[in-house]
């Protein structure tokens, strides 16, 4: 039983066993620490791994980033990898490099064949977003268009409009993360996910963050989110739950839905 749209890789569907794909982040700041983190994460068998390169102290050194991307690819085996530089305006770490340098880095990493998905923010200038899209297309990498609001939860109609705009901009996957101020904001996010799933053809990744938002990470897949982010070793955003807890809840809900 699948509620979110299937994400494909190389023409083959990626499936989470009837629940969401589970993605765990890598957030260490240096090579030895990151590879140790990767080993710990992979031991917990996530479906996807996300390298948050904005946490990496060597982000300004393209050669170091490329060498580490190759090491991650080798250690991760066939497990798909998302390459993400999160900007400070959307909750990322300060890096000291320009957006043009970020784009050059994304293009170089995609060209290595070591990553399968590139996450790039829709809040970027349109020319920058299109440059990221073209770099991903040239390398055969899927583009995740993303939007993160750490200040609150926009109205449901606005969330849907952002997801629709991502499809229109040429993304392969649409992602939205918002911060709930009251528990009803989680319902807004889930309702918007259901509505957007009926409007667009792309797989959707959606979540609320923080303590209330942990509910969306546990149950959001039943409303149409194709991926849930969980802690393998260290969290990359507030509200992420341990991968073991997420798997347990997903299995309980999946069996309950199948029985009904």
Residues carrying an active site annotation: 148, 175
Find the farthest-apart pair of alpha carbons in the chain and give their distance in angstroms, rounded: 54
Distance CA 141, CA 252 (A): 34
Cα torsion angle, 149, 72, 229, 132, sign: positive
What CA–CA distances, in Å, run from 23 to 137, 229, 237, 240?
22, 5, 12, 11
Q: Are 12 and 80 in contact (CB under 8 A)?
A: no
Residue 128: exposure state from Cβ atoms within 10 A (0-12, 13-18, ≥19): middle
Report DSSP state, residue 225: B
Q: Are 190 and 222 in contact (CB under 8 A)?
A: no
Beta pairing class for 12-14 and 7-9 = antiparallel
């Amino acid at each position: 039983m699948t509620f979110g749209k299937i994400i494909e890789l190389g023409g083959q569907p990626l499936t989470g066993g009837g629940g969401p794909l589970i993605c765990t982040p890598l957030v260490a700041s240096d090579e030895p620490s990151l590879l140790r983190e990767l080993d710990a994460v992979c031991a917990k068998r996530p479906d996807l791994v996300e390298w948050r390169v904005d946490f990496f102290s060597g982000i300004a050194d393209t050669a170091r980033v490329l060498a580490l991307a190759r090491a991650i690819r080798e250690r991760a085996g066939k497990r798909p990898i998302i390459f993400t530089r999160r900007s400070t305006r959307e909750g990322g770490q300060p890096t000291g490099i320009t957006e043009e340098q970020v784009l050059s880095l994304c293009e170089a990493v995609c060209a290595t064949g070591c990553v399968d998905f590139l996450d790039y923010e829709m809040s970027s200038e349109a020319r920058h977003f299109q440059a990221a899209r073209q770099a991903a297309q040239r390398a055969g990498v899927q583009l995740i268009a993303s939007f993160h609001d750490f200040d609150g939860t926009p109205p449901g109609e606005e969330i849907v409009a952002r997801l629709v705009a991502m499809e229109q901009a040429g993304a392969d996957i649409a992602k939205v993360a918002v911060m709930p101020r009251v528990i009803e904001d989680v319902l807004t996010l889930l309702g918007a996910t259901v509505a957007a799933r009926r409007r667009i053809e792309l797989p959707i990744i959606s979540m609320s963050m923080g303590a209330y938002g942990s509910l969306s990470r546990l149950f959001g897949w039943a409303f149409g989110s194709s991926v849930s982010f969980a802690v393998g070793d260290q969290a990359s955003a507030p509200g992420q739950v341990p991968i073991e807890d997420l798997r347990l809840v997903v299995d309980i809900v999946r069996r309950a839905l199948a029985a009904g």
